[in-house]
Chain A
Amino acid sequence: MNTFDFLMQGFAVAFQWQNILFAFAGVLIGTAVGVLPGIGPMNGVALLLPVTASLTAGLSPENAAASALILLAGIYYGAMYGGSTTSILLNTPGESASVMTTLDGYQMAKNGRAGAALAISAIGSFVAGIVALFGLILLAKPLSLIAIRFGPAEYFALMVLGLLAVSGLVGKSMTKALMMMMLGLALGTVGIDAVSGSARFTFDIPVLYSGLAFLTIAVGLFALGEVFKTTLEKDSTDAPIAKITRVMPTKQDMKDSAFPIARSSVLGFFIGVLPGAGATIASSFSYVMEKKISKNPEKFGKGAIEGVAAPETANNAAAGGALIPLLTLGIPGSGTTAIMMGAFIMYNIQPGPLLFQNHPNVVWGLIASMFVGNLMLLVLNMPLVKVFAKLIDTPVKYLMPLIIAFSVFGVYAVQFTTFDLMLLLVAGVFGYFLSKNDFPLPPLVLALVLGPMLENNLMRALTLSNGDYMIFFEKPLAAIFLVIAGLWLAVPLFLKNKSNKIKKALVEN
């Protein structure tokens, strides 16, 4: 049988009535999970894992596994669709992959274009989902072989590039962005270091051993910071919020977003394949890429629709790409896929090199169901856009307490400690003062997420080379990433005194 036959067989599985039902339940729960701040895709999948076990109890083992995975995968990519909602409406990224969406998404909402922003994320997500599926079907095996070659040196260089690229392009001042990045890196060192095993800044308090949670810091900085800002700066509450004239994106919006969506789908998919890097780096890179090649880069950060379309497309494409190492190698590339791997094992199916051979019905059924699920999500999300877009009209006196309640509830539901609630408040106060003084927040939270990975990979690479820093230049990919990262910092400084002509030439290079 060739790939096409397998795929058709997969559709036969996906179109069984109970599996259509499971896919629908999955995407519906996923959307809800994505919209609620705090409960990200990882927690959604983890919470539903035991439930699926009892739901599928009556089916034969093979069918039960297919149905359960269809449901869980639905939650996974459904949450990716829903994740943009809070970023756009409340300036609150529910997970690290949606951080970049806040930059332009929230500005669009403030300009009364929340509907367009939400709709374009749904459309971008749909395109990304389909592109990633084709990629998954056609390229799974060769890509997985390339992905495992990525060693510590390459990862380190990629993370350096990712961080510098973001810091070089958000906010008004590069210096401030770099300061925020360093602060994020510093906060990321709290906890037990994975490579050396030493405890840093933990003061023998066990709750600090695992470090500061991204979720708590991000929700504090963004959501509570925004609440404090709105409350303290009274005039902004009295200013009438721009009336929503139109919910759906205009023709011009679609035209502006078409290429960013196409480019980000491909970029996101390929970055998603790398275990560990995934959606966060993909969304950052795609945003940076769009800003870089845009004819009007000054529009970014002020509500450019491309600035929403690109990261939202990329993070969905990355979610599809992340399934490749899971399905072909049994290696989970992210927290969410790690839990999905647990689901496979629960049904006595070991993801790994033999998965496609031993359980073709389960794998191809899952892949086929994702076509169905993505279509359902598009149909489901377009009417929801109208509902969510109206949320922005909620009077501030109701909206602010609601945001606080959701933030506290979301953080506690995931972390289960009062320590994180204190941290949330502290982060909120910092968020207010930082954004008041034009310090951009995305570099801080991205550095908090990427910092530990960056450092661990640096340590691993140096252990491998017995402390020789040349390892970063002996590996060609690592060297290329580092050179680009260096240029990223150097070129703008150099350009300050040069004409635009040279700038163009350099960008083309």
Chain B
Amino acid sequence: MAFKKWLPVLLSVSVVLGLSGCGEETSSSADANTVEESGEAATVDFPTQPITAVVPNSAGGGNDAAARTLSKLMSNLDLVSQPITVQNKPGGGQAVGMAEFATKYNKDPHSLYVGSPPTIINNLRNEGNSPYGYKDVTPLGMIYSDIAILAVKKDSKYKDLKSFVADLKANPEEISIVGGSGPGSQDHLTVMLLADKSGIDPKKVKYIGYDGSGDALTSLLGENGDALTTDLSGITEFVKSGDVRILAVASPERLSGDLADVPTYTEQGVDLVYYNWRGIFGPQDLDPGIVGFWDENLKALTESQEFQDEIAASGFVPGYLDSAEFTTYLEEQEVMFEEILGKLDMLK
């Protein structure tokens, strides 16, 4: 009786499964065709097996979210015929995952690494150094980024960047700046860049590192810190509710939407543009055909409506760079980090 009742359901499920299975096959062959037609990757048959995306952080973090978005949308949009599985290798502020990827996956073209600025910084800094950096892997593309911001509590006396910088210059020991990660991390270095570019000795600036941007935000709201350096995505709700005021965003131009009246660093006279980027990397010495494959598909991914909706909802900003542009960008960032770490005596 019960079985009879469920029979139509079972049948329809199996039919649907069968059909969707066919759909996948056709779409993947179509995929292969487009690759061949474009001529870039005529000789590579890629991917032939499931792809592993190594994430150097635990589940739930920013890089993890980027990897899961990549994995989900690449298959939903039928861009990559093989599944992308996410492998979390947390520890050492990304140094463990980086070492693992650079040494154990270096011969496996079916692997990806999802990283952010520590990919460069860890390789440069003196303490907690990672022996591997972006030169030990192949940059494939930057898919989106978060923007560094400087914020104060709503009732703070600082209404703009100018008054804040003036006070910081006069009494650096009076002002504490809180951030969600330790010294030598991006939260710390953006403030140091600000100090350096405003003619303040970065070593005199009081920076207090917390375990995560949530804790740092708490200390700002609880008046245990005067200003907060963090990424935009975690703080938009507090700006909307009026609890927090952003003094400056590190984007080249003003943002759109709710945050259109927040000024940039540049327009307030500080030449500071900083993205907390999310990048996709492949193993070292990757076949140029496969690099071409990722260039094409990452571009298609970032141009899709689904992707744009997803990152807009999380408060990230788009900004796709292909493998060549991304490599150049990383080289520029390396120079910038090297300089500021040098001034802080934190360079290896």
Interface residues, chain A, with chain B CB atoms under 8 Å away:
46-47, 49-50, 148-152, 192-199, 202, 204, 206-210, 275-276, 325, 329-332, 338-339, 341-342, 345-346, 348, 350-354, 416, 456, 460, 463-464, 466
Contact = CB atoms under 8 A, between A and B. Distances in A.
Interface stretch (B58-66, B298-306, B318-326): B58-66
A210 B209 contact: no
29 contacts: A46-B59, A46-B60, A149-B222, A152-B219, A192-B92, A192-B127, A192-B128, A194-B211, A197-B346, A206-B91, A206-B99, A207-B92, A209-B91, A209-B128, A210-B92, A329-B221, A330-B238, A331-B214, A341-B214, A342-B59, A342-B61, A346-B65, A348-B314, A350-B236, A352-B241, A353-B237, A353-B241, A354-B237, A460-B210
B308 interface: no
Contact of A276 (B215, B225, B237, B346): B215
Given A198-B127, A204-B129, A463-B176, A209 B237 contact: no
B219 A206 contact: no
A195 B237 contact: no
Contacts of A352: 237-238, 241
A115 B86 CA distance: 41
Given A208-B92, A209-B95, A352-B241, 13 more contacts: A47-B59, A148-B218, A148-B221, A149-B223, A195-B208, A197-B128, A209-B92, A210-B90, A331-B214, A338-B212, A342-B60, A460-B208, A464-B176
A464 B224 contact: yes
Contacts of A196: 182-183
B278 interface: no
Interface in B181-225: 181-185, 188, 206-212, 214-215, 217-219, 221-225
Given A209-B128, A342-B65, A151 B91 contact: no
B238 A332 contact: no
A466 B171 CA distance: 12
A151 B222 contact: yes
A99 to B, nearest CB: 21
A206 B95 contact: yes
Given A50-B68, A209-B91, A339 B241 contact: no
Contacts of B313: 348
A418 to B, nearest CB: 12
Contacts of B96: 206-207, 209-210
Contact of B93 (A209, A346, A464, A466): A209
B222 A150 contact: yes
B305 to A, nearest CB: 15
Interface residues of B, number: 56
A275 B91 contact: no
Given A151-B219, A331-B217, A192 B238 contact: no
A199 B127 contact: yes
Contacts of A197: 125, 127-128, 182-185, 188, 209, 346
B89 interface: yes
A341 B243 CA distance: 20
Contacts of B93: 192, 209-210
Contact of A345 (B131, B176, B219, B314): B314
Contacts of B95: 206, 209
Given A149-B223, A209-B91, A210-B90, A331 B241 contact: no
A275 B241 CA distance: 21
Give the 6 A-B residue pairs with the shortest CB-CB distance, closest first: A209-B92, A197-B183, A352-B237, A148-B222, A151-B224, A342-B60
Nearest to A346: B65
Contacts of B99: 206
Contacts of A466: 173, 206
B214 A338 contact: yes
A54 to B, nearest CB: 9
Contacts of A210: 90-93, 96
B240 interface: yes
B130 interface: yes
B89 to A, nearest CB: 7
B208 A330 contact: no
A359 to B, nearest CB: 11
A331 B218 contact: yes
Nearest to B224: A151
Given A330-B214, A352-B237, A354-B241, A49 B60 contact: yes
Contacts of B223: 149
Contacts of A47: 59
Contacts of A345: 65, 314
Contacts of A463: 176, 206-208
Contacts of A193: 182
A350 B316 CA distance: 13
A490 B95 CA distance: 45
A407 B71 CA distance: 32
A151 B218 CA distance: 9
Contacts of A332: 212, 214
Contacts of B314: 345, 348
Contacts of B184: 197
B117 to A, nearest CB: 15
A422 B237 CA distance: 45
A463 B34 CA distance: 59
A332 B60 CA distance: 12
A207 B94 CA distance: 10
Contacts of A202: 128
Contacts of B243: 353
B62 to A, nearest CB: 10
Nearest to A49: B59
Contacts of B237: 330, 350-354
A47 B59 CA distance: 8
A448 B207 CA distance: 26
Contacts of B89: 416
A332 B234 CA distance: 12
A202 B185 CA distance: 18
A226 B217 CA distance: 43
Nearest to B237: A352
B208 A331 contact: no
